[in-house]
Amino acid sequence: MNSFCDLKLAVVGGDARQLVMARELASLGAEAAVFALECCEKSIDIGEATRSVTLDAALTGADAVILPLPVSYDSEHLHTPCSNGRITLAELFDGIPRGTLLLGGRFDGAAAALAGERSLDFVDYCNREEFAMAGATPTAEGAIELALRHLPITLHRARCAVIGCGRIGFLLAEKLRALGADVIVAARKPGDLVRIEAISCRPHHTAELAALPEVDVIFNTAPARLFDRAVLAAVAEKCSPLYIELASLPGGIDREAAAVSGIPVIDAQGLPGKVAPVTAGKTTALCVINILKERGVFA
């Protein structure tokens, strides 16, 4: 059984989070070979990680391959915003030997199918509790920063609606309340509605979003199309709130209907990597280490 210091880990694609993660893994003794991250090196030091000139060089001899969050935005190419090159998922997966563990964030159906066709064992680290919990704080803080930047008022005494009461929604509501905001939280489970009252926020059922009272800003964390044309028309009759989209694509709002209703929309997916890449990268590194150990890649 390998020790952690015997491992070669290929870190391919992604943004500054991936480079920080590679740096963390290398600092703990593993060989972290990075590829398609060259543009990130202008702002993030590569540390003891190694730069691979080609994709094949990064993959050769790797005990595990670590892909970004998301793995892909178009179901065809790897997400490589910090590289001048493009890599198809087919090209990437064809270069990974069978038996190599593949890790990535938010494998869509096409990526999962391609990996399955090539008999690659893959793990979606987005499904890990430690990853989700750690990502809630930078997401909530980033959402608050966006609201402060785009609203003409303070959050103190602002009327805020948080849609969804998962990890992010609940933490965001707590932070907004601590800033003195008047906070409504929309949820559907009876237990969540009780929890909302316990943090001095006002509960509201997600089935009744058309009846939302007048608010200054809506933070959506629910990955479902809740703000359709009818709901938006009802909201717009009372107010024109700033809408901040925190849910993963395609999000929870009808964009065309929002434009017609005069409701401004800010896309704010992937905030951890944008507002706190170092924190997010360290979180991903810890999650990767846990997965590798559980899968028996090292002892």
pLDDT at 1: 65
Q: Name the residue with tokens 């989209």.
A: 245
Average pLDDT of the chain is: 96
User: Rounded distance, CA 83 to CA 253, Å?
Assistant: 31
Is the pTM higher than 0.85? The answer reads yes
DSSP-assigned beta bridge partners for residue 151:
none
Q: Going by C-beta distance under 8 Å and a sequence separation of 6 or more, which residues neighbour residue 79?
A: 13, 14, 68, 69, 70, 71, 72, 73
Q: Which of 110-119, 126-135, 195-204 has the highest mean pLDDT?
A: 195-204
Dihedral sign computed on CA atoms, order 85, 89, 91, 95: positive
Question: Which CATH number fits the domain 132-268, given the four candidates 3.40.50.880, 3.40.50.720, 1.10.3720.10, 3.40.50.280?
Answer: 3.40.50.720
Reported confidence tier of residue 250, pLDDT bands at 50, 70, 90: confident
What does the pLDDT read at residue 249?
82
Is the bond leading into 250 cis (omega within 30 degrees of zero)?
yes
Model confidence at 41, pLDDT cuts 50, 70, 90, reads: confident
42 falls in which pLDDT band (50, 70, 90)?
confident
Place of tokens 């800033």: 179
Peptide bond into 203 cis (omega under 30): no
The predicted structure's pLDDT at residue 86: 95
Three-class SS state of 245: strand
Where along the chain do the CATH 3.40.50.720 domains lie? 4-127+277-294, 132-268
CB atoms within 10 A of CB 198: 8
Task: Choose which CATH entry (2.60.40.10, 3.40.50.720, 3.40.50.2020, 3.40.1260.10) describes domain 4-127+277-294.
Answer: 3.40.50.720
**Could you give the CA distance from residue 275 to residue 271 in angstroms, rounded to a whole number?**
6
Q: In what order do the strands lie in the sheet with 242-245?
A: 202-205, 182-187, 159-163, 217-220, 242-245, 265-267
To which H or E segment does residue 178 belong?
helix 167-178
Q: Kindly state the percentage of the chain with pLDDT values over 70.
A: 100
Confidence band (pLDDT; 50, 70, 90) for 38? very high
Please check whether residue 188 is in contact with residue 206, taking contact to mean a CB–CB distance below 8 angstroms: yes
Structure confidence by residue, pLDDT tens digits, 161-209:
999 999 999 999 999 999 999 999 999 999 999 999 999 999 999 999 9
**Mean pLDDT, residues 59-85 taken together:** 95
The answer on pLDDT for 248 being more than 70 is yes
